Structure 1
Amino acid sequence: MYKATTWKLPADACELGEGPHFDRETDTAWWFDIVGQNLIEHRFPENLSLVHELPRMASVIARVDAGHQLLAMENGLYLRTKSDGQLRLLAPLEAENAATRSNDGRVHPSGNLWIGTMGKNAEAGAGSIYWFDGHEIRRLYARISIPNSICFSPDGASGYFADTGVNTIWRVALDPATGLPTSEPEVALTEKDLPLGGHFDGSVIDTDGVLWNAAYGGGSVSGFAPDGSLVQTFEVPATQTTCPCFVGAELDKLLVTSAWQGYSTTERAADPGAGFTYVIDGKFKGQADPAFDLKIDDIQLI
């Protein structure tokens, strides 16, 4: 089996690194420090990391076109202009509830978004998972504690999501044209499937349908075949690994974010790699992140 190499990117440690996305056209990765209210940009050609301050917490970023990105923030879904960071509100997201924020999400191959919310203190059952097409936000699942692991099969016919609070990943049949569920979810993976322990956090799926999951508290990323069998596990020098995405010209590498949230001074000293962002050269068979298909004409400028 191929022996991978792993290295740390030259970016500051995040208290809660999350939501990585790779823009293949510009060879640039983006991710968040959610609680730090920062968007981090890493330009691979220059090996340069930049920090963009945000006015509120955010957790998901997706390409819209060459000049714009979709951001999921604690109170809504926004269009971001890359040149100046300007934000335009597309739709509110639990804006009336100051106790919740956005968390894990991903664009379906149809171009529509799945986005989860959760309590800011991870309150049990406080979150939901929604579908957004640029016009409508539709709640798909309620009473989710910590929504994670949102990802989709290459053909768009299957979706996955986790509740980290109960350490379970579900699979659900989808309409490939819209990303909307066509059946009830079924259990795909449970905590006994995690080879190094921890909790299911963010996931991404490769071209073979292998789900690569970052285990929060397990310091690793593991691949699971569509039948649930373990393909391979890669250890990461940070215990609280949070979310992966494919990077590189061939999408054969995996970027993994991590966190030091909740650590005491002693615990942080014992886990010096916590919060940094890593790249695993594991000869992955990645697929590109789909762009969000923006369909709305009238955008409220904020």
Structure 2
Amino acid sequence: MTIELAVDCRNQLGEGPIWDVREQALYWVDIAGRELQRFDSASESVRRCLMPERVASFALRRSSGMVLALESGFAFFEPLTEEFRWIARPEATIGRNRFNDGKCDSSGRFWAGTMDDAGTEYTGSLYRLDADLTVHRMENGVGIPNSLAWSPDDRTFYFADTLDGRIYAYDYDAPSGAISQKRLFVSTSDPGSPDGSAIDSEGYLWNAEWDGWRVVRYAPDGSIDRVIPLPVQKPTSCAFGGPDLRTLYVTSARWDLAPSDLAAQPWAGGVLTMQVDVAGLPAARFAG
């Protein structure tokens, strides 16, 4: 498998890639840099939008623009006009927390989790933002929320706590958006911890391992199907893109890497790409 550097963006904390099938473009964020970024696959040009505060994750909307999970809450953003509008700040009284990973389900709800900004305490929660803009807390006692994904049949929801080093599976009820029957899906070992994920069309979960130098493809039963070594220590998330959704994009970080580490891994913080033999699924869009 040939791994290439698609964007030499050198993000401190690149995260949350999403492929827009309408635009044939990749969007992702640099949390530490407060930037939303867009890579046009045809022109290979990159556009960056500076946000009013750290932006952790987002989802495309069915109409236009996107919904964001910023440091302190949810907001709408229109990239073409750079119009920005706050929706809700569910943890306005918890100053130590910030939002982290998020994704949209097939029914058009946006899910995102919060975390202790230092990444050491279990003060976070998992929230669901519905199309009518109501906010629901779905889990609490979360360390570092990551890896939100749904099986193609919408019966299983995946959610990782990086602080635990575990990915969990839940029963998922698509009509109501309810989750139940939390159970261990996989537990990772040193040095890597589970970060962001993507589901392919066969129902396998592709997970980027923070500090693990790799992406792992897990079968629905939790067994390892394949391991893809990477030339970067801190891959953060992945997404399927390209005309046939067989291009895997992987974001990464330079966070806490010493100068000697950066010299040894010059692609750190960039967006990596590779061709894979299975297609992904189009990114779900927010219905609100």
Taking structure 2 as the reference length, the TM-score comes to 0.95
> Does the 8 Å contact 1:144/1:163 carry over to 2?
yes
Tell me the distance in 2 between the aligned counterparts of 1:113 and 1:100.
Answer: 19
Give deviations 1:116-135, integer Å, cap 9, x for gaps.
11121113102111111032
Aligned to 2:84: 87
C-alpha displacement of 1:232: 1.4
For residues 52-91 of structure 1, the aligned pairs below 5 Å read 52-65=49-62, 67-91=64-88
Deviation at 1:140, TM superposition (A): 1.2
Pick aligned residue for 1:150 from 144, 148, 152: 148
1:67·1:82 contact (CA, 8 Å) conserved in 2? Answer: no
Residue 233 of structure 1 aligns to a residue whose secondary structure is: strand
Cα deviation for residue 269 of structure 1 reads 2.3
In structure 2, what is the equivalent of residue 163 of structure 1?
161
Return the alpha-carbon distance in structure 2 between the equivalents of residues 98 and 291 of structure 1. 30
* Alpha-carbon distance, 1:234 to partner: 1.4
The alignment status of 1:201 with 2:195, answered yes or no, reads yes
Q: What SS does the aligned partner of 2:61 have? A: strand
SS at match of 1:87: strand
Report deviation, 1:66.
Answer: 5.2
Corresponding residue of 1:216: 210
User: 1:185 is matched with which residue?
Assistant: 182
Q: Deviations over 1:246-276 (max 9, x none)?
A: 1111111111000011122233223322111
1:112 to 105, 109, 123: 109
Q: Are the counterparts in 2 of residues 238 and 273 from structure 1 also a CA contact under 8 Å?
A: yes
Distance across 1 between alignment mates of 2:90 and 2:109: 15
- Native 8 Å contact 2:62 2:287 kept in 1: no
> Contact 1:254 / 1:284 at 8 angstroms: preserved in 2?
no
Per-residue CA distance 1:222-241 (angstroms, 9 max, x = gap): 11010111111212221100
| RMSD of equivalent CA atoms | 1.4
Partner of 1:38: 35
2:15 to 10, 14, 18: 18
Match of 2:26 in 1: 29
Aligned partner of 1:242 in structure 2 is 236
Change beyond 3 A, Cα 1:93–1:14: farther
Runs of 4+ in 1 over 6 A off after TM superposition: none
8 A contact 2:120–2:163 mirrored in 1: no
2:222 corresponds to which of 221, 228, 231: 228
Equivalence for 2:259: 265
Instruction: Name the count of aligned residue pairs.
Output: 287
Residues in 2 aligned to 1:269 and 1:84: alpha-carbon distance in whole angstroms: 38
2:270 match:
276
CA distance in 2, matches of 1:112, 1:280: 30
Deviation readout 1:23-44 (Å, 9 max, x if unpaired): 0010011111101101111000
Structure 2 unmatched runs, 5+: none
2:73–2:87 contact (8 Å) kept in structure 1: yes
CA distance in 2, matches of 1:66, 1:240: 34
Match of 1:298 in 2: none
**Worse-matched range after superposition: 252-261 or 62-71:** 62-71
Aligned equivalents of 2:55, 2:176: Cα separation in 1? 24
Per the alignment, in what secondary structure is the counterpart of residue 260 of structure 2?
helix
Residue identity opposite 1:287 in structure 2:
L
Distance 1:75 1:95 in 2: 7
2:123 is matched with which residue: 104, 126, 151? 126
Distance 1:255 1:93, change over 3 A: farther
Helix, strand or coil at the partner of 1:283: coil
Residue type of the alignment partner of 2:151: S
Work out the CA distance in 2 between the residues paired with 1:177 and 1:229.
29
Q: Give the partner amino acid of 1:202.
A: G
The SS at the match of 1:184 is strand
**8 A contact 1:109–1:155 mirrored in 2:** no
The one-letter code of the counterpart of 1:223 is R
